[in-house]
Amino acid sequence: MRTMELGVSGLRVPPVAVGCMRLAGIAGKKAEEFVKTAIDLGLNFFDHADIYGGGSCESVFADAAGMNDDVREKIFIQSKCGIRKGMYDFSKEHILEAVDGSLKRLRTDYLDVLLLHRPDTLMEPEEVAEAFDQLKSSGKVLHFGVSNQNPGQMELLSKYLNQPIIADQLQFGPAHTGMIDSGLNVNTMFDSAAVRDGGVLEYCRLKDITIQAWSPFQYGFFEGVFLGSEKYAELSKVIAELAEKYGVTDNGIITAWVLRHPANIMMISGTMNAGRLAEIAAGTEVTMTREDWYRMYLAAGNRLP
């Protein structure tokens, strides 16, 4: 499995992170087999959040991985915090409490990466900075990032932080291309020219912040999977043709499409199916041509001016 650098962290990680949001649904032997398959494939970066399964996904992962010092040295663990019932909370107290909870459930002394999950408009960046300093000095968190934040929000945080933001987790895939659309439609009056994210793609490239693409197989905001959907019949057709051309599956081609972008994007898989995960891993070895990349982009219903 090839690797990439995660932001400016110095960490060399696989280009695909294993998303663990649904892990609690396959607890027991099936979870053990899934985690083992991921590690055997070289996909040893696991993405968690304190709210996944109400925290149970982290506990299930620790059990499935047979967490001990030897296992911990072979994997990367990322978790997120900041979402509470009916609110977002970036207070120092909540961040510290959330990390302690994740560490306990994951049965580890540290997180490789902690992300702030969804922007909190009541955020006081000085408090976040204090929390990060405490977590860093105690060794509980090695690196920090954000999720679903725009350039202005990251700039505000960076003004106070003593650590670099190494990642921003954003939804991106063939059927969710807003961060690309606006750049392709500069100086037009098309709806797709609207910059809704503050130019986050270019900002992250300029600042060496790794974009982690979540829900790459979904369209809309958790509206469903586009493969096989009547709404995306042309896209599914083109994906099937390209999968045959490159000798991988549909899942592999979608992976290759996401990773083809020169922003050096890291894709987060969401599957709990070991076979599908292997198909995704195979896609990391495919380098799609420019022509085929744009063919998929257009097949998703996008246009070029």
Asked, for residue 237, whether it belongs to a domain, the answer is: yes
Distance CA 152, CA 154 (A): 5
- 305, part of any domain: no
Distance in angstroms (rounded) separating the CA atoms of residues 106 and 79: 10
DSSP 3-state helix, strand, coil percentages of the chain (rounded to 5)? Answer: 45, 20, 35
- Per the document, the length of the chain is 305
The answer to whether 116 and 80 have CB atoms below 8 angstroms apart is yes
For residues 174 and 242, give the distance between their C-alpha atoms in angstroms, rounded to a whole number. Answer: 14
Residue 181 lies in a domain: yes
Residue 304, domain member (yes or no)? no
Helix 250-260 / helix 233-246 crossing angle, nearest 10 deg: 90
Catalytic residues: 52
d(CA 171, CA 214): 5
Output the pTM of the full model: 0.96
Distance CA 72, CA 66 (A): 9
pLDDT in tens, the chain (305 residues): 999 999 999 999 999 999 999 999 997 899 999 999 999 999 999 999 999 999 999 999 999 999 999 999 999 999 999 999 999 999 999 999 999 999 999 999 999 999 999 999 999 999 999 999 999 999 999 999 999 999 999 999 999 999 999 999 999 999 999 999 999 999 999 999 999 999 999 999 999 999 999 999 999 888 899 999 999 999 999 999 999 999 999 999 999 999 999 999 999 999 999 999 999 999 999 999 999 999 999 999 999 99
The total domain count for the chain is: 1
Which residues contact residue 86 at a Cβ distance below 8 angstroms, ignoring those fewer than 6 apart? none
CATH at residue 276 = 3.20.20.100
Q: Are 151 and 199 in contact (CB under 8 A)?
A: yes
Domain annotation covers residue 175: yes
**Domain region containing 75:** 4-299
